[in-house]
């Protein structure tokens, strides 16, 4: 009886403690996290995705007691898609606003501009979608996009592995690419990888980013008649090439697009079975990763409410969320806001994120290449390779 | 001196900013302001002053970016050593472009703008498709920055401040120099400027090269500032558009106008980088800019200090010349013949021909003009009188024949060179430089005509001729404020300030009232009395008879009569040419 009384008291105390913890509001001076985003200018469409993700994460973070028990304040400025302004605003965040921590801007050029400032002031910089790992030479920068240190080699191998496992492995390849830096260097790597794997290159050509005339490119591909086309496309270039090929009644047996605009491509009928790169899609096993399901649900709702063109979570939104997860993990584990302490911890630990476990102990602080191959199937994107990341029951479809 | 002193004081104060211990952000932000000041001001040296609107500033800036990026990142040149090369490369491109396009009269206005824009695209394509870039961009992280300032931010700040100060000083100097005077004249009427002695091709080339060099140097510094350069970002269309907007906002005819515009736009652009309503902020900025441009079409400085005020200030420094000037003669007594065919030839035309699309405007014209005389050049409409003036002044080149002026063969000379040896002309419809004051209109010919005076001496000379023509009280007016009579006299003043040996007057009396004609005739007579030889093209026979020592008559491009007025007018061929206008001849 006496034991039961103690047990009840202990239980009540425990419940009260848990209740208190659950409802504890962060207190004290805020932890100030600074970043810029391309909220206006040519990169604004993606910049708005990162802004929405950041807003969601900070709300969630503050709802679970902030960082170190202190509220989190996110100071985000509009770099207008300009490198020089991004650089200037990071200097302001560090020397005037005196933020505690930094998060990166979007995209590669702006991240490099911000990285130079961070390096000058010995600030850690966690960034979302930096496309060229070899340029990330600062030892306190950490990528949230798990490309691996050499995506020009590893990722083409992933794609060709997927095709090799298909019922009709390609024997010939055409590589066509935009001269956009972050897709061009992977396309060049794909040529080398294909050659080493014994594929015969029947066509290579490139075009200037901003090109709108894809008819001649489509005709050249049709003439070459490859088994597989690697398209170094970014944004709407993929859709434009697909439309051009449709006009000449041509469809490659297999086709891969590096970084297409995911929404427009999945909606295009001619994109059936098209392949692309991703780090996250809205299905298992990704939804089993920590925080993924809740984030996807919230993002879908908020993106629709904000009027974003594409409300699905894929590479950009996932990398953005991952960056915040990395930051939170390091601060929580070290109970520190010291950049060097945080950086040292990240270099020696892995972080559970919605795209999987990330490590930062490789060249340029990159870890594993977690890029996946997804495919348009029945009007939706599904990951088809590698098998452990594939959607339940999904397999690579061939024409 | 006030401007120089103030400018130097501001420059020194700004140079001290790194020592105030301010956060580095302020230096970096001011760097951006200086960066745009350099780009806008360097653009303005050709485009604002001369009106040759270029959309190619992105090309020259971009060439500077890639010159430094290539030399520093690929060839390991020290950063500072790359900057002169960045400037030289941009200047070289500008000169090469100018050598082609500035010779073609059709490539003005929007064609020049489009052509320079096309050059930007071509250059971007070349860089993108060669080893200069090739697509991946150029990363300059390995390039070391010299320790000019205490911090990297200070170094960039001081470098760009130095370039901005140099750019503004050059713009200020040019605006007050012979070059600037020529450029402003080109802006208003390039053909007239050339005929009045402005070497328009050389002026444009020099201005273009200087502007391009400064833009190239700014590009060189900016390459390291952003540290990663790509073709898409570097050759973005926003660079030339922003530069034009800044210059127009600040005022393109003022040396400091683009700097004011650059500072205003950079600051308000930065002001919309924070908060949750950046789009609304940017829209508000756009509305403000549109409103300012609509209501201040001459730009901020153009509105605050219009040309007339500027001229008045300059004029205040000028000693007043004392020249006796009398009113125009009230009657037309026939002059005593002061010269005749026995005098020295000042101009000799031999077998001069000129045709347009197969139609002979001048057909083997042989004519002499003697020093000190007034030669009346007559002929019905379309007879070739104006063509003759245009050929002699160099505006048209003769198809055949020789033209000797003061002992020199000038038939292949450009107009400005002809003007420099003492041959001036006026226009039937006055063509003053609309944005320059009456005084500045006259100053130009004193600087670019035969005397080739300095600006200070030219101001004295201009005042003298404005007194002579009775326009002294209108010195600060703009030409649009003059009536026709006064504009005709402005043409006289402008021609006289070049101290011509020979003055070609093209229907200067047309459109004037009888009283004004009396005044003009008296003026012409006084001009000749000063020793200037005059060729008078005129339809008003009464005045010609009163003024001319000799008369030459053209009909359908051919010289049909030449000699003493009474003799010539009595010839049957002349009467036939003027058939139907006998009443006027009788006068």
pLDDT in tens, B387-409: 999 999 999 999 999 999 999 99
Identify the pLDDT of residue B544.
86
The reported pLDDT for the residue numbered B567 is 87
Q: Which of B281, B306, B331 is the last residue of a domain?
A: B306
ipTM: 0.85
Give B135's pLDDT tier (boundaries 50, 70, 90).
confident
Asked whether A322 and A295 are in contact (CB, 8 A), the reply is: no
pLDDT tens-place string over residues A161-182: 999 999 999 999 999 999 989 9
* B474 belongs to a structural domain: yes
> A181 and B125 in contact by Cβ < 8 A?
no
Percent of chain B with pLDDT over 90: 64
Give the tens place of pLDDT for each residue, B460-502: 999 999 998 899 999 999 999 999 989 999 998 999 999 999 9
The tally of domains found in chain B comes to 2
Residue B295: per-residue pLDDT: 85
In a domain? residue B149? yes
Residue B382, in any domain of the structure: yes
**Reported confidence tier of residue B531, pLDDT bands at 50, 70, 90:** confident
pLDDT digits (tens, 9 = 90+) for B343-366: 689 999 999 999 998 889 999 999
Of B28, B152, B228, the CB nearest to A83: B228
Average pLDDT over residues B90-112: 88
Same domain, B353 and B265: no
A34-53 burial, b at 16+ Cβ within 10 Å, e below that, comes to bbbbbbbbbbbebbbbbbbb
The partner residue sitting opposite A40, judged by closest CB among B135, B230, B282, is B282
Distance between B216 CA and the closest CA of chain A, angstroms: 17
A112 touches chain B (CB under 8 A): yes
> Given pLDDT bands bounded at 50, 70 and 90, which one contains residue B332?
very low
CB contact under 8 A, B24 and A113: no
- What is the pLDDT averaged over residues A216-224? 97
Q: How far apart are CA A244 and CA A271, in angstroms?
A: 12
* B455, B545: one domain: yes
Beta strands in chain A (DSSP E): 31-37, 72-78, 101-103, 125-127, 141-143, 172-178, 200-207, 228-235, 254-260, 275-278, 351-353, 356-358, 372-377, 380-385
Last residue of a domain, one of B256, B275, B306: B306
Question: How far is Cα of residue A319 from the mean position of the Cα atoms in its chain?
Answer: 3
Give me the mean pLDDT over the B129-151 stretch: 92
Give the pair of three-digit tokens for residue B236. Answer: 């973005």
pLDDT per residue as tens digits for the range A198-212 = 999 999 999 988 888
Closest CA to B328 of B113, B513, B568: B513
Measured distance CA(B135)–CA(B129) in Å, rounded: 7
Q: In terms of pTM, does the model score above 0.90?
A: no
Q: Which of A379-388, B2-11, B250-259 has the lowest mean pLDDT?
A: B2-11
Q: Is residue B250 part of a domain?
A: yes
What pLDDT score does A10 carry?
Answer: 53
* Helix/strand/coil percent split, chain A, to 5: 45, 20, 35
pLDDT at B587: 35
Three-state SS for B513-566 is CHHHHHHHHHHHHHHHHCCCEEEEECCCHHHHHHHCCEEEEEECCEEEEEECHH
* Same domain for B363 and B246: no
Q: Among B306, B334, B367, which residue terminates a domain?
A: B306
Q: What is the pLDDT of residue B319?
A: 36
Report pLDDT for B342: 52
Q: Are residues B163 and B268 in the same domain?
A: yes
Q: Could you read off the pLDDT of A35-66 as tens digits, one per residue?
A: 999 998 888 889 999 999 999 999 999 999 99
Does residue B312 form part of some domain? no
Of B25, B139, B278, which has the smallest distance from its Cβ to A112's Cβ?
A: B139
A39, A88, A137: residue with CB nearest B28? A88
Residue B329 pLDDT > 50: no
pLDDT tens digits, B411-465:
899 999 999 999 999 998 999 999 999 999 999 999 999 889 999 999 999 999 9
Question: How far is residue B210's CA from residue A372's CA, in Å, rounded to a whole number?
Answer: 53
Q: Which of residues 497-556 of B touch A (CB under 8 A)?
A: none
pLDDT digits (tens, 9 = 90+) for A64-90: 999 999 999 999 999 999 999 999 999
CB neighbours of residue A160 within 10 Å? 23
Query: Is the Cβ of B230 closer than 8 Å to some Cβ of chain A?
Result: yes
Of residues B255, B260, B160, the one with CA closest to residue B217:
B160
Domains observed in chain A? 31-146+289-365 (3.40.50.2300), 151-278+372-389 (3.40.50.2300)
Q: What is the pLDDT of residue B43?
A: 97
Is a pLDDT exceeding 60 seen at residue B44?
yes
Give the domain CATH number at B95: 1.10.3470
- B456 within some domain: yes
Q: For residues B535 and B502, is the Cβ–Cβ distance under 8 A?
A: yes
Q: Are residues B143 and B276 in the same domain?
A: yes
* CB-count exposure of residue A10 (10 Å: 0-12, 13-18, 19+): exposed
A85/B32 touch (CB, cutoff 8 Å), yes or no:
yes
B267-291 b/e (C-beta count within 10 Å ≥ 16 → b):
ebbbebbbeeebeebbeeeeeebee
Separation in Å, CA of A78 to nearest CA in chain B: 4
* % of chain A exceeding 70 in pLDDT: 94
Of A36, A95, A135, the CB nearest to B139: A135
What is the spatial distance between Cα A299 and Cα A294, in angstroms, rounded to a whole number? 9
Whether residue B207 has pLDDT greater than 90? yes
User: For residue A19, what pLDDT is reported?
Assistant: 47
Do residue B260 and residue B392 come from a single domain? Answer: no
B250 and B142 belong to one structural domain: yes
Same domain flag for B75 and B143: yes
- Residue B543 pLDDT level (bands cut at 50, 70, 90): confident
- Do residues A299 and A317 touch, judged by C-beta distance below 8 A? yes
pLDDT of residue B460: 94
Q: Is residue B330 part of a domain?
A: no
Asked if residues A333 and A350 have their Cβ atoms less than 8 Å apart, the reply is no
Per-residue pLDDT tens for B228-272? 999 988 999 989 999 999 999 999 989 999 999 999 999 988 887
Does B360 lie in the same domain as B281?
no
Evaluate whether residue B67 is within a structural domain.
yes
- Distance, CA of B494 to chain centre: 15
- How far is it, in rounded angstroms, from Cα A276 to Cα A374? 5
Q: What residue numbers bound the domain in which B290 lies?
A: 2-306
Q: Can you list the alpha helix ranges (DSSP code H) found in B51-78? A: 57-69
> Is some CB atom of chain B closer than 8 A to the CB atom of A180?
yes
Q: Is A84 on the interface with B (CB under 8 A)?
A: yes
Whether residue B288 sits in one domain with residue B363: no
In this prediction, residue B540 carries a pLDDT of: 81
Give chain A positions within 8 Å (CB) of B231. Answer: 179, 208
Tell me the pLDDT tens digit for each residue of B55-72. Answer: 999 999 999 999 999 999
The reply to whether B349 and B279 lie within a common domain is: no
Residue B347 CB neighbours (<10 A): 22
Same domain, B527 and B578: yes
**pLDDT confidence of residue A20:** 46
In the numeric block, which tokens belong to residue B17?
Answer: 């900013």
Write the pLDDT tens digit of every residue in B267-324.
Answer: 988 887 876 677 777 787 788 778 877 888 888 888 876 544 444 444 433 333 333 3
CATH number at residue B391: 3.40.50.300
């Amino acid at each position: 009886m006496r034991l039961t009384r103690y047990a009840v008291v202990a239980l009540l105390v425990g419940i009260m403690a848990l209740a208190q913890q659950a409802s504890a509001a962060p207190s004290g001076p805020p932890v100030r996290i600074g970043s810029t985003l391309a909220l206006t200018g040519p990169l604004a469409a993606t910049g708005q995705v990162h802004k929405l993700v950041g807003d969601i994460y900070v709300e969630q973070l503050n709802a679970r007691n902030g960082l170190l028990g202190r509220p989190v304040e996110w100071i985000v400025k509009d770099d207008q898609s300009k490198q020089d302004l991004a650089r200037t605003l990071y200097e302001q965040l560090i020397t005037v606003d005196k933020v505690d921590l930094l998060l990166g801007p979007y995209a590669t050029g702006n991240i490099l501009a911000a990285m130079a400032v961070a390096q000058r002031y010995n600030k850690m910089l966690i960034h979302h979608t930096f496309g060229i790992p070899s340029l990330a030479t600062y030892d306190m920068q950490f990528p949230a996009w798990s490309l691996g240190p050499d995506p020009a080699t590893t990722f083409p191998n992933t794609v060709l592995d997927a095709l090799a496992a298909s019922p009709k492995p390609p024997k010939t390849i055409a590589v066509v690419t935009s001269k956009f830096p972050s897709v061009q260097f992977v396309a060049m790597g794909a040529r080398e990888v294909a050659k080493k794997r014994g594929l015969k290159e029947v066509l290579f050509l490139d075009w200037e980013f901003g090109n709108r005339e894809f008819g001649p490119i489509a005709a050249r591909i049709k003439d070459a008649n490859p088994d597989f086309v690697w398209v170094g496309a970014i944004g709407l270039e993929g859709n434009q090439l697909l439309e051009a090929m449709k006009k000449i009644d041509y469809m490659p047996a297999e086709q891969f697009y590096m970084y297409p605009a995911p929404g427009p491509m999945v909606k295009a009928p001619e994109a059936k079975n098209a392949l692309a790169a991703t780090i996250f899609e809205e299905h298992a096993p990704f939804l089993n990763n920590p925080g993924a399901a809740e984030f996807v649900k919230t993002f879908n709702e908020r993106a629709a409410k904000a009027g974003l063109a594409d409300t699905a979570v894929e590479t950009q939104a996932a990398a953005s969320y991952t960056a915040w997860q990395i930051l939170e993990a390091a601060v929580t584990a070290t109970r520190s806001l010291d950049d060097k302490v945080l950086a040292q911890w990240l270099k020696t630990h892995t972080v559970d994120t919605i795209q999987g476990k990330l490590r930062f102990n490789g060249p340029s602080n990159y870890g594993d290449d977690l890029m996946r191959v997804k495919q348009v199937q029945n009007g939706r994107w599904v990951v088809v390779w590698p098998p452990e990341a594939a959607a339940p029951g999904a397999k690579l479809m061939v024409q | 001196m006030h401007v120089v002193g103030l400018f130097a004081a501001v420059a020194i104060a700004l140079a001290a900013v790194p020592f105030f211990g301010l956060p580095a952000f302020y230096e970096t932000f001011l760097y951006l302001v200086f960066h745009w000041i350099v780009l806008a001001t360097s653009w303005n040296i050709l485009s604002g002053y001369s009106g040759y609107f270029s959309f190619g500033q992105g090309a020259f800036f971009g060439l500077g970016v890639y010159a430094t990026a290539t030399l520093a990142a690929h060839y390991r040149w020290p950063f500072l050593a790359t900057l002169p090369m960045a400037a030289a490369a941009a200047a070289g491109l500008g000169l090469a472009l100018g050598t082609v396009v500035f010779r073609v009269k059709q490539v003005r206005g929007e064609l020049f703008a489009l052509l320079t824009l096309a050059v930007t695209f071509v250059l971007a394509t070349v860089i993108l498709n060669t080893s200069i870039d090739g697509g991946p961009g150029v990363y300059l992280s390995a390039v070391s920055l010299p320790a000019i300032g205490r911090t990297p931010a200070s170094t960039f700040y001081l470098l760009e401040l130095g370039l901005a100060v140099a750019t503004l000083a050059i713009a200020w100097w040019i605006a007050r120099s012979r070059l600037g005077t020529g450029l402003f004249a080109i802006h208003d009427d390039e053909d007239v400027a050339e005929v009045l002695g402005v070497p328009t091709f050389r002026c444009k080339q020099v201005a273009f090269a200087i502007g391009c060099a400064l833009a190239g140097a700014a590009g060189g510094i900016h390459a390291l500032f952003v540290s990663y350069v790509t073709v898409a970002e570097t050759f973005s269309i926003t660079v030339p558009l922003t530069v034009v907007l800044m210059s127009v906002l600040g005022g393109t005819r003022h040396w400091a106008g683009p700097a004011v515009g650059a500072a205003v736009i950079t600051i308000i652009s930065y002001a919309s980088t924070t908060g949750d309503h950046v789009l609304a902020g940017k829209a508000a900025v756009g509305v403000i800019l549109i409103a300012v441009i609509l209501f201040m079409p001459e730009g901020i400085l153009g509105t605050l200090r219009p040309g007339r005020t500027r001229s008045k200030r300059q004029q205040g420094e000028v000693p007043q010349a004392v020249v006796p000037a009398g009113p125009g003669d009230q009657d037309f007594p026939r002059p005593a013949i002061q010269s005749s065919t026995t005098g020295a030839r000042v101009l000799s035309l031999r077998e001069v021909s000129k045709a347009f699309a197969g139609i002979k405007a001048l057909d083997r014209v042989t004519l002499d003009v003697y020093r000190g005389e007034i030669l009346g050049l007559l002929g019905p409409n379309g007879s070739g009188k104006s063509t003759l003036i245009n050929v002699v002044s160099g505006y048209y080149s003769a198809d055949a024949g020789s033209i000797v002026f003061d002992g020199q063969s000038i038939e292949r000379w450009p107009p400005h060179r002809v003007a420099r040896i003492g041959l001036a002309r006026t226009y039937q419809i006055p063509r003053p430089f609309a944005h320059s004051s009456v005084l500045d209109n006259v100053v130009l010919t004193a600087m670019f005509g035969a005397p080739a005076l300095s600006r200070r001496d030219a101001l004295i000379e201009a005042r003298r001729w404005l007194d002579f023509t009775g326009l002294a009280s209108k010195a600060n007016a703009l030409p649009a404020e003059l009536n026709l009579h006064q504009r005709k006299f402005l043409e006289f003043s402008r021609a006289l300030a070049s101290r011509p040996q020979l003055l070609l007057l093209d229907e200067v009396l047309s459109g004037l009232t009888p009283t004004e004609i009396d005044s003009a005739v008296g003026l012409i007579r006084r001009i000749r009395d000063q020793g200037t030889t005059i060729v008078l093209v005129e339809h008003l026979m009464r005045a010609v008879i009163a003024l001319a020592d000799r008369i030459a008559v053209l009909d359908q491009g051919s010289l049909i009569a030449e000699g003493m007025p009474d003799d010539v007018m009595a010839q049957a061929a002349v009467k036939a040419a003027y058939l139907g206008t006998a009443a006027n001849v009788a006068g």
